[in-house]
Structure 1
């Protein structure tokens, strides 16, 4: 079989917690590497997706905070100058009509709206709220922005309960 190393955790090795650690070693031959590559690809495919709309200071900070988590993070922005300032290793899209991207987002994903423009926020939110299969839709804003957004939803005939 595979080599095994069984280590008691105790005073013999300078540990005080007790217990045991068992390490199993697998030789990285071609089939083992192929199996690992397949498992890693499947793990990547299954990661929940978070779509951040806006790469200004809030969007960049959010992307930085989400990057170490087991998520696949996408940032959508209308301004190339903002995308150029991204410090996180995230997927990004430059799109002058970001609301159109909502249709491409897979079911179960989260959408966070933090653009530089209220009208743009509202267009993106309207598209996202029209879907029933997203895990989360959130938008940053003040109390007055929220009131304005709810008023816009009322005018559009969209039920308020979807925005609370």
Structure 2
């Protein structure tokens, strides 16, 4: 939801067009529900790139230039008209957003960031989308004829099911947070040094915290944890707190095999069982990467985080695939 996070600040300066994938039939670059913001000279997020996205950007900017206000629904045959090898059909909606509504959009972004599920209802004969709190499946009602206005889109904006707590704002932690911030996950960044958290990307929840127990206690149940601070003693204190709490999905600790061995010995001496200690993954990151620069380490760890996320959300994935309905 990078577009929703950035929307209020951009909208306060100038009108925007919100472009959303309303429905998909066959193969397409993005799923229904994917959205992007189009301004006069910038774009936030993507609906899949390629010719489809260029057409959508041109359509949106034409609306901005002409002052067009009415929501629009467009159908694109990817192979026939756009030459994209996906070969499916995509329906896009276009909604012009005005600066006077920036505060309302800030409220929606704040609600979503706090874990509230939102529903967007956009009708062809309406002036703008309607919003409410709640959950539902995505749905697109197609118009009776090509020029009819009796279409409607229901788009759920569900808070991310995957929450990651990153402890440490050093070189690797900063590189990792910047990589992960645009993705669909709840990202919490914790470090005692508040000044290092000040440059956090939009949408990242920052928590300056001196006490390891306090930092871990505040994490949501069932979330994942990555410990990569500047201090081995703090790493160990955080590891103890995470393992004692126990209600986490994944836990990774930065370090070498020798650090893993040393920590295992220290944890065993403090009463942790072998089963508890085995839940600690150390080293972290996908295998096969020898580059030790912070950016390379962060890329390897980010890939592992995506694997964690996929394993967590796949069994319960409901998706945003819109149900197609015609009159």
TM-score (norm. length: structure 2): 0.43
Q: SS of the residue aligned with 1:63?
A: helix
Q: C-alpha offsets along residues 50-103 of structure 1, whole Å, 9 cap, x if unaligned?
A: 11111111111111121121111111111233223x342311111111332211
**What 5-or-longer segments of structure 2 have no aligned partner?**
1-70, 94-121, 136-154, 279-327
> Would you say 1:15 and 2:83 are equivalent positions?
yes
Contact 2:212 2:241 in 1 (8 A): no
Structure 1 match to 2:49: none
Aligned to 2:201: 88
- Aligned pair partner of 1:146 in 239, 244, 260: 260
Cα distance between partner residues in 2 of 1:109 and 1:77: 18
Extract structure 1 runs of 4+ deviating beyond 6 A: none
Residue 5 of structure 1: how far off its partner (Å) = 4.0
Higher helix share: 1
Is it true that 1:110 corresponds to 2:179 in the alignment? Answer: no
User: 2:200, 2:206 within 8 Å by CA — same for their partners in 1?
Assistant: no
Map 1:21-100 to 2 at 5 A. 21-23=90-92, 26-27=123-124, 29=127, 32-35=129-132, 43-44=158-159, 46-84=160-198, 86-89=199-202, 90-100=204-214
Query: How many angstroms apart in 2 are the aligned matches of 1:118 and 1:147?
Result: 13
Task: Check 1:23–1:110 CA distance in 2 against 1; reply closer, same or farther (3 A cut).
Answer: same
**TM-score after normalising by structure 1:** 0.80
Distance 1:88 1:152 in 2: 36
Preserved CA contact (<8 Å) 2:229 2:235: yes
Matched residue of 2:166: which SS?
A: strand
1:158 matched to which residue of 2?
272
